[in-house]
Amino acid sequence: MNQLIENIKEWGISRGITGSQGKGTIDGQHKKTLEEVQELTDGLRKRKRAEIKDAIGDIVVTLILQAELQGMDFQDCVQSAYDIINKRKGKMVNGIFVKDKPSDDDLGELDATKACNLGDTACESCS
């Protein structure tokens, strides 16, 4: 997996998305991720396994490149998420895991008031 991530990062550089000469933007990469999520939605709706597989892969590629554009390490992002969800309690409701009410400890060492910097009005920290 490490080599695959490195290959994707190199691909992003060679296509001019990331790297010192890259012209990719955080917003542009976000839009690309949303496009790929829509492709996943379409594949799921049609129950087309090949489309689902392709979309899942494409989503991961866009997230790896987003991490690069943010100056973050993709594996560190995934590890950070796992460290939080690993302790999470909840239950299954209609096929979806619904977490129990989060505590301040869910954000680990992050300051809960700085967890979101996107100005999302739905986010408790931003509203």
pLDDT at residue 113 tops 60 = no
CA 79 – CA 71 distance, rounded (Å)? 16
**Domain contains 36:** yes
In a domain, 114, yes or no: no
The packing angle between helices 49-69 and 2-14, to 10°, is 70
| 104 domain residue, yes or no | no
With cut-offs at 50, 70 and 90, classify the pLDDT of residue 101: confident
Q: HEC states along 65-88?
A: HHHHHCCCCHHHHHHHHHHHHCCC
Residue 23's CATH number: 1.10.287.1080
Domain assignment present for residue 70? The answer is yes
| Domains held by the chain: number | 1
Domain that includes residue 49, residue range? 2-87
Residue 100 in contact with residue 90, Cβ under 8 Å?
yes
What tokens appear for 13 in the block?
């550089």
Domain-embedded: residue 126: no
Residue 125: pLDDT band with limits 50, 70, 90: very low
DSSP line for 10-79: HHHHHTTSSSTT----HHHHHHHHHHHHHHHHHHHHHT-HHHHHHHHHHHHHHHHHHHHHTT--HHHHHH
pLDDT of residue 67: 98
Distance CA 73, CA 66 (A): 10
109 domain residue, yes or no: no
Structural domain contains residue 18: yes
